[in-house]
Amino acid sequence: MAHFNAREVEPASDLSRRLGLSFSNLALLTRALTHRSYVNEYSAVEDNERLEFLGDAVLDFTVGAWVYNRFPEMPEGDLTKMRSALVRNEQLAKFARKLDLGRALRLGRGEASSGGHTRDNLLGSAFEALIGALYLDAGLGAVDTFVIPILEEVREFILSEIHDPKSQLQEWTQSQRLGSPRYRVVGTSGPDHAVVFEMVVEVAGEVKGQGSGTSKSYAEHAAAQDALKNLGVV
């Protein structure tokens, strides 16, 4: 494994410039990037766990307000699903990777040499701590300015994820004790370079939906949507 070298860590001042964030108090940003393993080995005063706690609450509010305002017709249940999908650690780690926060994390030697700079839980926590630091330094408006463009970039992906008809059909059939839906290709059409798949989906042994698409995945998606409609679920 690579030997940890503290000099390779991006300074908070450089990160601030790179992200276009004008921190009045750079010590806050430095703390947001400091893992407890670093505090144990170096002369750092505080790790980022308190800022992570604050950032978690700020993100919950910021994302919730954005979802509420961005999708005025969305029912409460879907609002909750969308907010949850956006603030889960896996998604926050993706945001952190996009910002390349990993190279600015201050980790202890063991944590760094074992790949801590790329670990989801550390990256997600660091993103929350960054938001907490930004809130303390510049307020909620600065958080909105920074976070909302990031949310907009993944809007379509998250929407498709929470409205995935295959997942909805699976949840419904399980709630009705009907087992899992079964997808089956029943035909293809078109030339080799543009094959269209014809798909049916069976629930408890009966065909409940059909659909077509240029891939099996798209065809399953269409068949599940058709089944939900035929079953009166949507």
| CB contact burial 134-152 (16+ within 10 A = b; e otherwise) | bbbbbeeebbeebbbeebe
Catalytic residue among 47, 52, 111, 128: 128
What are phi and psi for residue 102, nearest 5 degrees? -55, -40
Type and span of the H or E element at 182: strand 182-189
Is 128 a known active-site residue? yes
3-class DSSP state of 215: coil
Place of tokens 């701590």: 129
Q: How far apart are CA 114 and CA 98, in angstroms?
A: 21
Cβ 142 vs Cβ 134: under 8 Å: yes
Residues 20 and 100: their CA atoms lie apart, in Å, by: 13
CB contact at 8 A, 212 and 196: yes
Give the Cα-Cα-Cα angle 127, 150, 124 (nearest 5 degrees).
20
Q: Which of 47, 56, 137, 226 is catalytic?
A: 56
Question: Which residues are designated catalytic?
Answer: 56, 128
